[in-house]
Each structure stands twice: as C-alpha cells, then as structure tokens.
Amino acid sequence: MKKTNIPLILGGIILLLILFIMIFPDMFTDNSPYTIQIVRFIHEDSKLFVERSPFNPGSDFVLGSDDLGRDILSYIIYGTRLTITLGLLIAIGQFLIAIPLALLGGFGNRLAKSVIQQFNIIFSAIPALLISIILLKLDFIADLDKQSSIIAFVLILTAVSWPKLGSLIMERVEAIIAQPFIKGEVAIGKRRTKIALENVVPHLAPELIILFFMEIARNLSMIMQLGIFAVFVGNLGIVDDKGSGFYINTDISFEPEWASMLSTSRTLISTAPWAVIFPALAFFISVLGFNLFGEGLRNIIQKPDSRMPLVFRKLISLDFSYLWRMIGKKEKIKYSVGTVTLIGLFLIFSIVNKEEYTISLAADSIDLPNRVIIGTEEADETIQQITDKMVQLGIEPLEEEGYALSYDIGPSYMLKDQDFSISLEDGPMDLIPNQDFAFVTSGDINNTGMIHDATEIDMFSIDDYSKFKDKFILIDKDYYNDQSIDYFIKEINKNERVKGVLLIARKSERINSIIIDESEMMSVIMVSREVSDLLKTNMDSTISISSSVMPLESTGYNLVGIQKGTDENIGDEAIVIGMNYNYTEDGGNDVLEFNLELMEQLCQQQGNKRSIIFMFLDGTIDEKRHGVHYITQDFPYSPNKVEGYIDLSGLVERNFDYIQFSAAQAPITRPFAWSLGHHIEQEFTKNNLEIREIQTRHIGNEYYFTDSQADNAMFWEKGIPTIIINTLESGEETRSIEEVGSILLEVINKNNY
C-alpha cells in the first residue's frame, strides 16, 4: 500500500494557509494592525476602570495587545507578508549567488571554489548572527526608510548565509560530476556548459528545491533570532518629540512584522507573555511548515526511481510537450483538478474580498439644486435635505438648537456679473473670470484706469498714497502675509480715491470667487501671475473692470450630527468627518450625493465602537467664510475626545486625477489618527491612486499647511489631529471619488474598534 506522505500534506496545508494570509490578510482579521490604543476604559459594576496596555487576550483583542495597545492577531496576520517575503527574498538571494559559483567550483574553477571555501571559513569562525547584528545596527542602516531597510536587510543576510549553502551545493555538484556517466558525456564530445545544464543541473534540481524550502525555514529562524536582539526591518525613524528634532530609532516598528513584535515585547515576557509567545508561535509554525514541506518533497522526489531530474531537464530546455506526454491520463486529470480548485479558491477569495467595502452613487438620486451657495435659498433647501437624511439615519444633533449651527458671516455679496479687460495695442483683451482674475471685494462698480506697479516697492514704507490716485495698484501677495495686505487695503481705502487693488496670487493659490465683501468705491481683484506679467509689459495700457453683485443672507449653517459609538468604554471617543455641501457647478451635486452616501454607509456599518461625528460645513467655497473657522470657535464636542478629523471638504468633483493627501497634522504622538492616516495612505497606494503632498511648512516639529487657513483650523485651533484629502484634476479625470469612498469605509471600519 502507498504510504501517505504526512510531512508533505501538513507542510502543504501550512504553506497554503500562509499564502492565503499573505494575499488576503483582511479575510482573517477585521482589525487594523496600525491602530494604537494605549489606554482603555472599562465600565464594570458601575465603576470605571482605566487600563493601560498591554491588554490581556479577550473579546477586544483575541490574542491580546502589545505595549502600544496594538492587536497582536492582526499584527501577526499583516506581518506575514513582510516576514515571509523576507525569508523568501533572502533564500532567492542565497541561491542566486550559490548556484553559479557552486557549479563553477564543481567544474574545477579554482577562483569560485576558493571564494566559497574562504567565505565559509570566515562565517563559520564568526557566527553569521553576530555579523548581521553588528552590520544592521550601524546607524547608517538603521536610519534607512522601510524600502531601503528591507533591501539592506536582505543583502546582508544573504551575504552572511550563502557560503554554507554554496559549499553544500558544490559538494553535490562534485559528487554528480564524479559519476561515470559524466565521463561518457565528455567522451561523446558534449560541451561542458551543456553537460552542466543538461546532466548536472537536472540531477541537482530536486535537491535544490528541497534545500530552498529548508533555507527559507532557516532564514526565518535567523530573522527571529535577530528580532530577539532588537534587529528587524521596517525600523521607523521617528522625530524625537522632545523638541530636538532629531530622528530617533526606537525598538518599536510601526510596520507589521514578526521579528519586530518579538523585539518590542521581549521585555514583557513576564508581564504580558502573550505579546511574545504568539509571534514566536507564528515563527515556529511557519518554520515548521517550510521544513515539513521540504521533507515531504524529499520523500517524493528523491526516490531512486523518481523522474524529477528528467522533468527539470525538460523544463530547462523548455520542452513541455514531452512532459505532457509523460504524465499519465489519470494524473493529468488529478493535476488539472488540483490547479483549477486552487485558482477557483483564489478567485472566490478575491471576489468575496472585494464585495465588502464599495460605495457607488445610485442612478436615481435625490433631487439636488444645481448650485448651493452659502446664504442662498438653495442652501436652505439643501440643509433641509441633509437634516432629513440625518434624522432618517438616527444621527443625533450635538447641540440643543439642532443639527444646523448658525454663524454670522457678515455682509456678503454674490457676484452676478464680472468683467476685466485690458486695452492692448491690438485691441482690448477680455480676461476669463475665475481663471485669470477673481474679485475679492467689489460692488456694483464700473471703473477704468491705468496701473501702478507696486511690486517693486515696499508697501510698508509708503506714507503718501497720493501717487496711486485714480490708478489700479498691483501688489504681489508673495511678499506679504494676509494681515499686511488687509492693512494696505484699509489704508489705501482711507486715504485716496484709488480705482482698485490688483493682488497677484500666490503660486498655488486658487483664483476663484463667488462670494465677496462689499465696497462701493474700490475693487480688490486677485489676478494670476500670467496676467500680472502681461500687465507689467504693457504698463501704459488702461484696464477696465465692472461688476454687479447680489446681497446674501449673512448667516451660514454648519450641520453637525453624531452617531454614538456602541462600545461603552470607547464610545465617547469620536472620529470627525468634515464634508462640504456648497458647490457652484453642475457636477457638485454628485459630491454632495457622495457625501450623503458615505455618511449612510458609515452609519450602517457594523461595529462602530467609537462615535462618528459628521460635519457638513458651509461656505467651503470661500476661504473667509469657511464653516470650519466658526465650528472651531465654538466646537460642539469635547476636543479631547476627538481622536481624529478627516477633512473631505476638498472633494470637489466626482472625477479627478490625483489626490492631495497629508497626514502631517496627525503625528505619531497622536497614535490613533497617525495609524488612521498611515492606513489610508497605504490603501491609496495599493489602489494606484496618485498621491501628491500638500505643501507644508514646519513650526517646531509640527506642520502648517501653507495653502489654506481652513486646512489648519482643526489642528491649530483645537489640537485635533487632521488628515486632509483633496482631489485635484489635471484634465483627464481618470479616477472617481467612489474609489476614495470605498477606501475610507474600509479604513474607518477597520480602525474603529
């Protein structure tokens, strides 16, 4: 009777499991490995307990948590990918070096032979483990980022471990060459290279395959040992919080990887043994899996009558038809069934996987107005619709006055008509509104006049504004901050009858205005750099502007509602999502619809342990009247309880090309938001969304966004860590916000435990 090959089956099952975990980690856990939670609150017998991580295994953390409160199970599962890949890459590296050298050495090349022997002597005299620790602990290597750190890790471990493998293979090659049939092949006049490929390698191949699996196992245990000595890949350099601004390397990795878990938790062995035992177990099982599989393979392919070498020879010479003929009909069926089942399994897994988090805009949608602008009737109408939706979803208002929190925006006007033309030598030239120019302040005004270039003058040093009389003044915004410009305008307005002020926009500043302040006398107009260049080269030309305006209600409304978290301990903690509901163009209602849909799906998701606060901000189309300024002044929730703010008010169109993303205001000192931002960024990259950084400038160790005041409000006014997602288009509009929505759904759900 045929003996069952137990090692092969057992090892195969383990390896298959590892493979599936590597490809579909999210099938095996709902938790994000990045989430950090150092303190948790427990209500028990009407008492409140505060517990600090590491937490025991329990309902929250199946396998417990580590020192930072990260879920061990999800960390192990997500860590599989990196850890096993490392083992695999190192093994590939070893074989790439060892096989050619061993073949050369086996065929009598002295250099190759002595290289193998000398290296082997060196590395058996000094333990490879020691060398790798010394090398990998060098500051230069420890400071590398994740990608280069992986490369350095693989290279060094390959370098220290290949000689052993090399001499092993060389011995095998020599043994094969010593066999009489090689002499027969020489006598018949066969080339050495051909003998190597057609006679030596095929006889070597089964051994190599077994060795390959054994080497992976060996590499994994090496990685584990290094982990115990606090050497691991993905060592993240983080900025020292104590103000020095130095990069420090901790023994903590923020990239899921098993060795780093051992390293982080090795001091906890007595207090939190689970944090050490489970990653060690993960190592143990996978090492066992690879070893068993190798052993099992040995049992089949090293039988004396095995035809594996033949199979390899045919594979090397790409002669597949022969193999096809060689396999019996029964086996053909067996193998095909196996392959089809495996492919089927993968397909099923990937389909099941995809279905979970998707957001799509329904065809029959809510009736939304063509444009919604703060202080207009359409806005009131939209507010009513959003309120209805919130009520329908069971979202509760935060303040007594209801969902809509009003704020005063001062006298505001909406532009009805606007014109700007320059009389050049070859006739007048009309500029395009909201591209070449945009009114900032105006009224029902019609003005014509010459320009005075003040870009070369220091505006602060001017006492007498009389030379600007009846002219338009050109000021470069790049040289002054907003307060200074406000001051100049006020001064100019006070002293002389100036026709207007032209402000040259800053580099990345949006030239766009719908709502303006009123002025009866003078207009303030923002112009693009191109227009200013044109004006500067035609200084003697006259320009004429005209505008007519319509007054708006001076009240804006931010809509705020909360969906309470289900967990009694962390239910008070909240994630805030900021969205816009103002828009000026037809496409804008898609975005509003998307926002509503996102809210609905987030509410309907299972397991929202933390509260989610939805904020529909008014006035997002206008920097000055942006709802966020007012909400931060009178924040309806305790800011300390807000774990993070996701700013989606920059989603302006349904289709876009790239994403402006920044989690710079969610620093690692704010672990929850940091991990959220990290996770979102990773998902974006995974889905091939092009990410561009938002321009930032440092203040101390923290970041300040240069583009927009509104972007900074939450972080700088209330200290709420902020993740900003803007969509921008470059004309092709290849991506859709639905993709962003799906990612957000997934990330928020996975982090909200």
Partner 1 sequence: MNSILKVDNLSKHYISKKSIFSKKQVVDAAKNITFEVGENQTLGLIGESGSGKSTIANLVLRLIEPSNGRIEIFGKDITNLKEDEMRKHRKDIQIIFQYTNSVLDPQMTVDELLKEPLKIHNIVKESELDEEVERLLQMVNLSSSERWKFPGQLSGGQNQRIIIGRAIATRAKLIVCDEPVSALDASVQGQVLNLLIKLKEELNLSYLFISHDLKVIRHMCDRIAVMKNGEIVEMGDADAILNNPQHEYTKKLIESILDINTN
Distance from C-alpha of 216 to C-alpha of 66, rounded to nearest angstrom = 27
Shortest gap between Cβ of 195 and partner 1 (angstroms)?
10
Distance from C-alpha of 603 to C-alpha of 614, rounded to nearest angstrom = 10
Choice between 203 and 626, CB closer to partner 1: 203
DSSP code, position 605: S
Q: Does residue 477 sit in helix, strand or coil?
A: helix
Residue 562 is encoded by which pair of tokens? 């909360």
Over the range 656-677, which residues count as b (16 or more CB within 10 Å of their CB) and which as e? bbbbbbbbbbbbbebbbbbbbb
Choice between 194 and 490, CB closer to partner 1: 194
* β-bridge mates for residue 423, sequence order: 428
245 φ/ψ sector (left φ>0, alpha ψ -120 to 50, else beta):
left
Q: Which helix (H) or strand (E) holds 167?
A: helix 146-177
CA 153 to each of CA 92, 132, 219, 265, 666: distance values in angstroms, whole numbers, following the listed order: 13, 9, 12, 21, 29
For residue 198, give every residue at least 6 positions away whose Cβ sits within 8 Å of its Cβ, in sequence order, or none. 190, 313, 316, 317
Choice between 199 and 412, CB closer to partner 1: 199
Shortest gap between Cβ of 219 and partner 1 (angstroms)?
30
Shortest gap between Cβ of 190 and partner 1 (angstroms)?
6
Distance from C-alpha of 33 to C-alpha of 159, rounded to nearest angstrom = 31
CA 638 to each of CA 253, 293, 294, 575, 613: distance values in angstroms, whole numbers, following the listed order: 31, 56, 58, 12, 12
Choice between 107 and 645, CB closer to partner 1: 107
Shortest gap between Cβ of 91 and partner 1 (angstroms)?
26
Choice between 306 and 734, CB closer to partner 1: 306
CA 728 to each of CA 175, 303, 512, 529, 603: distance values in angstroms, whole numbers, following the listed order: 65, 63, 15, 20, 27
Shortest gap between Cβ of 318 and partner 1 (angstroms)?
15
* 17-24 LR contacts (CB < 8 Å, sep 24+): 17/289, 18/80, 18/84, 18/286, 18/289, 20/349, 21/77, 21/80, 22/80, 22/81, 22/84, 22/85, 23/346, 23/349, 24/349, 24/350, 24/353
Residue 436 is encoded by which pair of tokens? 């070449």
Shortest gap between Cβ of 335 and partner 1 (angstroms)?
21
Shortest gap between Cβ of 294 and partner 1 (angstroms)?
22
Choice between 183 and 469, CB closer to partner 1: 183
Apex CA 584: angle with CA 579 and CA 587, to 5°? Answer: 80
Shortest gap between Cβ of 199 and partner 1 (angstroms)?
6
Distance from C-alpha of 290 to C-alpha of 216, rounded to nearest angstrom = 7
Backbone φ and ψ of 26, nearest 5°: -75, -10
Choice between 270 and 321, CB closer to partner 1: 321
Q: Chain centroid to CA 281: how far?
A: 30
Choice between 199 and 601, CB closer to partner 1: 199
Binding interface with partner 1 (CB under 8 A) = 179-181, 183-192, 199, 202-203, 305, 307, 309-310, 313
Backbone φ and ψ of 748, nearest 5°: -65, -45
Choice between 176 and 628, CB closer to partner 1: 176
Choice between 128 and 204, CB closer to partner 1: 204
Choice between 181 and 335, CB closer to partner 1: 181
Distance from C-alpha of 413 to C-alpha of 325, rounded to nearest angstrom = 83
**Helices and strands (DSSP H and E) totals, the chain:** 22, 26
Sign of CA dihedral 586, 587, 591, 594: positive
Shortest gap between Cβ of 169 and partner 1 (angstroms)?
19
Shortest gap between Cβ of 188 and partner 1 (angstroms)?
5
Shortest gap between Cβ of 332 and partner 1 (angstroms)?
18
Choice between 199 and 595, CB closer to partner 1: 199
Shortest gap between Cβ of 302 and partner 1 (angstroms)?
13
Shortest gap between Cβ of 176 and partner 1 (angstroms)?
10
Choice between 188 and 351, CB closer to partner 1: 188
For residue 691, give every residue at least 6 positions away whose Cβ sits within 8 Å of its Cβ, in sequence order, or none. 658, 659, 660, 661, 681, 684, 685
